Structure 1
Amino acid sequence: MRLIVAAVLALPMVANASCWTVKDLKGSSYSEREGYSRIDDAFSGTFTIVIDGDNATVLYDGLDGGGMVYRAMSKNVVVGLTTEPGKHAMETWVVQPDGVVLMSKTLSGFGGMDSTKAMVGRVSGQCK
């Protein structure tokens, strides 16, 4: 019996991937270019969020985040990070059980593009 339990525990864990399409992402941003005043902001395209075990991918209209490395923190939370000397970008994505998607993003070291934003969108469907 112990051998059976040990054999089962030794099997690799298979995680089911989750994938959502997200639209209507809108909220507020504060950027150096706008004097760090709050402005209404939005994305007009479609995001795709994929979580597969510890790995994650976020695409915007089918394109990757330009060097952003994503990790799944849980079955519905993704954190993205890219950094090079003097430049940093961070994102968080949370897919709520009711289909609401929360996103935050901070850029630093990019001059007029330095900014932070908080946005809310909706899951528009599951990936095909």
Structure 2
Amino acid sequence: MTEQDWYLQQCNITQYILRNSAVFKGEMATHISDEIRLIVVADQKPTQKIYTDILNAIRLKEEQVLILTPSQLIIPASDIKTVIWFIDITPDENWQNHLTIQTSSLDVLANTPQQKRQLWRQLCKYENYFHPEPQ
């Protein structure tokens, strides 16, 4: 026991051990497996029927979608080679790239045919990212 540990113990101060200090340094990144075909960024996991309908329409399973909150999206945009769909989130300027989709809330989307058409056009444009050709 070090002298510092002894003093803390005498003052009845509980010591905690930080096991993953890289999290505070911004070094902790979310791992994106090879099976992930779409990253959804939303405040909470989408549960609306339109969300499951969209996944079915583009033939993706839940296991192929990574859902992140904005605070979990700490990966640099340049490191991501997957389509990113921001639902009711305005991405920072550094996230504006050719693989980004941005829509309003799913409730609004479900009731706005024009927005649904626009989303569908974008999804069709990224079909090769959802279902890449075997190499």
Normalising by the residue count of structure 1, what TM-score does the alignment of the two structures yield?
Answer: 0.26
More strand by share: 1
Normalized per residue, the structure richer in helix is: 2
Higher Cα Rg, which structure = 2
